[in-house]
Amino acid sequence: GDSVTQMEGPVTLSEEAFLTINCTYTATGYPSLFWYVQYPGEGLQLLLKATKADDKGSNKGFEATYRKETTSFHLEKGSVQVSDSAVYFCALSGSVSGNTPLVFGKGTRLSVIA
Amino acid sequence: NAGVMQNPRHLVRRRGQEARLRCSPMKGHSHVYWYRQLPEEGLKFMVYLQKENIIDESGMPKERFSAEFPKEGPSILRIQQVVRGDSAAYFCASSPTGVAEQYFGPGTRLTVT
């Protein structure tokens, strides 16, 4: 079945450092890919998405590019802030046009220190 | 437009009691999904519903767990005879038809004592 593997945390960075969180996936067909962020005690918020190969999703300084050849969707940010401290989840949907359950990675906890 | 609403936010039950978790999707969304998150784990799919129909319940334990999404009112996830292993955060998500991304509620944190 479909699966998502993301780098294990925790990741600790200093403010203004560069962030990369790796995510690779296994899926049949052409999935849609997502990054969600979860702040302490809250639900998941959609951070960005990409629905086809070579699409780049971006939001709030975060970016991720859908790489079909490497089955990857790595999350990057050029300069992190303390407020970016959260758990980040990579996820896929097996259908780009329909409604299907999401498959999540285990999450990567990011701590940014001033 | 209000987001996905879940209540209660926190629920404490003793072993053997019943837990009822409620979810109201975003306005205009007719697809509801339930996920469970264990401590330090990702989210695991449980069940997918549309109004009055269960579409996919492949992730839901066959015993003690049930879900519904009636024509009127919120979706309900029901856990009968709770055990300690049911302690987790339960998240509901919704989406409109034909859209892959889902929008999550704040979750219900169930503690079984």
- Condensed to tens digits (0 to 9), the pLDDT of residues A94-109 reads 876 678 899 999 999 9
Nearest by CB to B101, which of A43, A46, A105?
Answer: A46
Short-list B32, B16, B28, CA closest to B90: B32
pLDDT in tens, B67-108: 999 999 999 999 999 999 999 999 999 998 888 889 999 999
Contact in structure between B110 and B45 (CB atoms under 8 Å): no
The predicted pLDDT at position B41 comes to 78
pLDDT in tens, B8-59: 999 999 999 999 999 999 998 999 999 999 887 789 999 999 988 999 999 9
Q: Are strands B108-112 and A23-26 parallel, antiparallel or unpaired?
A: unpaired
Q: Which two tokens stand for residue B56?
A: 């996919």
Residues 6+ apart with CB under 8 A from A5: A23, A24, A25, A26, A105
Average pLDDT, chain B: 94
Say whether pLDDT at B1 is over 60: no
Residue in B with minimal Cα distance to A9: B40
The identity of residue B77, as a single letter, is L
pLDDT in tens, A42-86: 889 999 999 999 999 999 999 999 999 999 999 999 999 999 999
The predicted pLDDT at position A97 comes to 63
Interface of B with A (CB under 8 A): 4, 6, 31, 33, 35, 40-45, 48, 56, 59, 91, 93, 95, 97-107
pLDDT band at A9 (very low <50, low <70, confident <90, very high): confident
Instruction: Please classify residue A7 by burial: count the beta carbons closer than 10 Å to its beta carbon, then call 0-12 exposed, 13-18 middle and 19+ buried.
Output: middle
Residue in A with minimal Cα distance to B57: A101
Residue in A with minimal Cα distance to B42: A106
The predicted pLDDT at position B43 comes to 92
Nearest by CB to B100, which of A42, A95, A104?
Answer: A95
Q: Angle at Cα A41 formed by Cα A49 and Cα A31, nearest 5°?
A: 20
CA distance A64 to A23: 10
CA distance A99 to chain B (A): 6
